[in-house]
Chain A
């Protein structure tokens, strides 16, 4: 039965390749990357092993604990990271629990993350090339460590799916999950700075972690290397006991999950709350705008990009402010405009087959395009204005305000026009409605990157006039250039927006059925 489950996982993987060659390319690239990382890791470990054993021990414990944390937490946020062997699918089959558990756990080692974890923990042996006994211990500990990682991730997923069976929780966790990801850079900077200031911190942290389940299995070989056999045995015991404990907990939660299918508690609500639909004009354009705006707030896939708005200045501040350079704040407005205006370039892909309603209703291309632009502009315009103006309160000098405003609005308007054309012409696989915003469907990355990169390149080109004038204003400080940038940004941007909506609308009118068939492939 265990062999069956493993074969199933391999078959699913292979069939995925058959369906989309791009997925194969993606996996091969991922594997090459993983091999590269593993190689560097091994070299690093050998190098570590040539020095003091304490140093290697500290590094291995910290890295190992981080690996455990990653396996435990990432699947909780990114629901559906790898659910090819979703336990819920085995409910109808009477598979004995021990075999199901073993199959799922071993299945978790198939695939790049699992294989890398297993190989990296085996690679720990390389660090102990001066201590044969420790090497053997590392090889013994490696499977325990890798299994602990996989079982941890399974435990947290099955525990959180019971929690997450409510759609609201799923939506929320998807949106909130983006915060730590966005702030990863600043967090790492903060941690490394903190570490640089206190040299003893790391070894102390490692020493503490070594007595917790997170670090003990990683610490055992190191203990042997320094000759503390008793401690090593105790730590191995802690690690093994932890694996047994989480496996038992996983079994409990899985057994519970298998007999309690997810239930969605829904409060019934009567009529009378039309939301944005009662605030926008009762025209097709107004209706599309109201629908799109509702989605910006209700659909986690849009929500994830909304919530990243306030985080961007934080990230930029961490990148530039330490150098004492606050000039970056001038670019907040244009960058915001750039990102927001491009956010609707995949709008029809996000609709997926719900777009059929637009096709069967005979919505005109112009109404569809204009509605989506209005919805995006409804918050993109104020946000851009705030980010363009606010920095000047900090900087004190208001001379460049017209230039920044002109560049921001120019980019926003022309970007919206460009997005109107792009989304009527190109579709690509995006996370499906109701899925986690993190889930990238197989084979989508390459096409998406190409369309997005080209689109952004075009956006830079068409915003070049106001950008050149704004730059001239910054360099020369002449108010004339500043005001010219504002005028050109507004006029050129508006013209490009109108052209974009019309061209995109015409394209849409010709190709709406083809667009529908294109998004229908991704479901």
Chain B
């Protein structure tokens, strides 16, 4: 099974443990993980969105970030990618402090944020070109990569259409292309498969697996457990701003399916009498 083989490769990476709060911040080891979070915290008004998260994402891993709605996944990823300034804590990407050297750290990252707009009055081709040129790449490289990306993501036929006229799935794909254009060492994808059709999703998974096999690191957030279990080699479960468990997928699921383990960790499954009036007979 090719997936298992890929997972095997990646597991040779550095040791990994997510700890819950508490542990004193320390600089990551020289063999730096692709992404290291230390004591990361954010409060919005009275609500603590992220409660001092520590997490190491080993280089070369395919890391899944799962959690119920409102668990703090997007907030965590926003702080990790330099879009939201943390109240406390630090973030390193391959040993570069994101908030001390933002420009250097951002060169290493490709980001697909969730819930943000795109410059949608550009055509798909213009948007990806724009993303490449903003990164300071030269015109010829950008042009050839844009063509490759559009073909790989099955968008070549709509390259000249304005992004505002794209469907939700196409929009997601063009945003992914914009995140890939500069061949980053770390990819941070927030809900990358939302609204994407199964064929495109499979193509994207292949692209991501190839990328990981060649030494890149991918972090995806999702609430589709099945997908994470099949696709990722590592996973962290986040709920209410805390890391409940982190490690390889096999460690975390501990024999059970990831979904069962997730429900067990997060809790909240209703065991009440259900909606009796909803029965049709």
A300 to B, closest residue via Cβ: B121
- Complex contact A360–B83 (CB within 8 A): yes
Q: How far is the CA of A117 from the CA of B106 in the complex (A)?
A: 56
Chain A residues positioned under 8 Å from B178 (CB to CB): 357
Residue in A271, A273, A274, A354 whose CB lies within 8 Å of B119:
A354
A362 touches B118 (CB 8 A): no
- Residues in B with CB closer than 8 Å to A291 are 119, 122, 126, 130
A362–B107 touching, CB < 8 Å: yes
| Residue of chain B at shortest CB distance from A292 | B119
Contact (A359, B82) CB under 8 Å given A271-B147, A282-B139: yes
Contact with A along B90-127 (1 / 0, CB 8 A): 00000000000011011101010101111111110110
- Contacting chain A: which of B13-21, B150-158, B253-261, B262-270? B150-158
Could you tell me the distance between the alpha carbons of A360 and B130 in the complex, rounded to whole angstroms?
13
Determine the chain A residues whose CB is within 8 A of the CB of B156 once the complex forms: 270-271
Contacts of A447 in B (CB 8 A): none
Q: CA of A523 to CA of B116 in the docked complex: distance in angstroms?
A: 9
Is B85 in the interface zone, CB < 8 Å from A? yes
Least CB distance from A517 to B in Å reads: 6
Q: Binary interface profile of A, 324-366, with partner B (CB < 8 Å = 1, else 0)?
A: 0000000000000000000000000001111011111111100
Q: Which residues of A contact B164 (CB under 8 A)?
A: 167, 434
0/1 interface trace, chain B 146-174, chain A, CB 8 Å (1 if under): 11001000001111111011000000000
Q: How many residues of A contact B (CB 8 A)?
A: 46
Tell me whether A360 and B113 are in contact (CB under 8 A): yes
Do residues B160 and A299 form an inter-chain contact, with CB atoms below 8 A? no
Residues of A within 8 A of B138 (CB): 282
Q: Are B161 and A268 in contact (CB under 8 A)?
A: yes
Which of A271, A363, A364, A514 meets B160, CB within 8 Å?
A271
**Complex Cα gap A255–B107 (Å):** 53
Across the interface, do B160 and A272 meet the contact criterion of CB distance under 8 Å?
Answer: yes
B48 in contact (CB, < 8 A): no
Do the beta carbons of B134 and A361 come within 8 Å of each other?
A: yes
Knowing A271-B159, A513-B83, the reply to whether A287 touches B130 (Cβ < 8 A) is yes
User: What string of 1s and 0s marks CB contacts (under 8 Å) between A155-185 and chain B?
Assistant: 0000000000001000000000000000000
If A298-B121, A360-B106 touch, does A284 touch B136 (CB 8 Å cutoff)?
Answer: yes
Contact among B106, B134, B158 for A288, CB-based, below 8 A: B134
User: Nearest-CB distance from B265 to chain A (Å)?
Assistant: 30
Given A264-B165, A274-B126, A298-B121, verify A361-B116 contact (CB < 8 Å): no
Q: Does A275 reach chain B (CB closer than 8 Å)?
A: yes
Chain B interface residue count, CB cutoff 8 Å, equals: 49
B81 within 8 A of A: yes
Contact B117 A294 (CB under 8 A): no
Q: What residue in chain A is nearest B159 (Cβ atoms)?
A: A271
Q: Which residues of A contact B81 (CB under 8 A)?
A: 360
Is the CB of B129 closer than 8 A to any CB of chain A? yes
The reply to whether the CB of B43 lies closer than 8 angstroms to some CB of chain A is no
* Chain A residues within an 8 Å CB radius of B230: none
Assembled-state Cα–Cα distance A517/B120 (Å): 19
List, in ascending order, chain A residues with CB within 8 A of B31's CB. Answer: none
What secondary structure prevails in chain A residues at the interface with B? Answer: helix
| Nearest chain B CB to A139 CB, angstrom units | 49
**Set of chain B residues within 8 Å of A363, measured between Cβ atoms:** 134
Cβ-closest chain B residue relative to A301: B121
Across the two chains, which residue of chain B brings its CB closest to A523? Answer: B117
**Shortest Cβ gap from B122 to chain A (Å):** 6
Pair B131/A356 contact, Cβ less than 8 Å: no
Query: Taking A270-B156, A362-B103 as contacts, is the C-beta distance between A284 and B134 under 8 angstroms?
Result: yes
Chain A residues positioned under 8 Å from B179 (CB to CB): 360
- Expressed in whole angstroms, the Cα–Cα distance for A481 and B115 within the complex equals 56
Chain B residues, Cβ within 8 Å of A277: 126, 129-130, 133
Q: Does A402 contact B (CB under 8 A)?
A: no
Given the complex of chains A and B, what is the CA–CA distance between A276 and B207 in angstroms? 31
**A354 and B120 contact, CB distance less than 8 A:** yes
For A359, the closest partner residue in chain B by CB is B83
The verdict on A198 contacting chain B, using a C-beta distance below 8 Å, is no
Name the distance in Å between B194's Cβ and chain A's nearest Cβ.
Answer: 16
Q: Which residue of A lies closest to B138 (CB)?
A: A282
The answer on a CB contact under 8 Å between A433 and B120 is yes
Q: Does B4 contact A (CB under 8 A)?
A: no
Query: Please, what's the 1-or-0 string for A252-274, where 1 marks a CB less than 8 Å from any CB in chain B?
Result: 00000000000010111111111
**A507 interfacial by beta-carbon distance below 8 Å:** no
Q: Is B142 an interface residue when CB atoms closer than 8 A count as contact?
A: yes
Interface contact A269-B113, CB-CB below 8 Å? no
Q: Which residue of B lies closest to A286 (CB)?
A: B133
B97 to chain A, nearest CB (A): 14
Tell me how far the C-beta of B259 lies from the nearest C-beta in chain A, rounded to whole angstroms: 30
B126 touches A269 (CB 8 A): no
Question: Are A283 and B133 neighbours in the complex by a CB distance under 8 Å?
Answer: yes
Q: Is B205 engaged at the interface, CB distance under 8 Å to the other chain? A: no
Look across to chain B and name the residue whose beta carbon is closest to the beta carbon of A356.
B116
Chain A min CB distance to B96 (Å): 11
| Cβ of A512 to closest chain B Cβ, rounded Å | 8
* Other A-B pairs beyond A294-B126, A357-B118, 19, CB < 8 Å: A167-B165, A264-B165, A270-B160, A271-B150, A271-B159, A272-B159, A272-B160, A277-B126, A282-B139, A354-B119, A354-B120, A357-B131, A360-B83, A362-B82, A362-B105, A362-B106, A434-B120, A517-B84, A523-B117
11 pairs across A/B with beta carbons < 8 Å? A272-B159, A277-B129, A282-B133, A352-B117, A359-B82, A361-B134, A361-B135, A362-B106, A513-B82, A513-B83, A523-B117
Binding site for A on B (CB under 8 A): 81-85, 102-103, 105-107, 109, 111, 113, 115-123, 125-126, 129-131, 133-139, 142, 146-147, 150, 156-162, 164-165, 178-179
Give the 6 A-B CB pairs with smallest separation, nearest first.
Answer: A269-B160, A362-B106, A287-B133, A271-B159, A282-B139, A353-B116
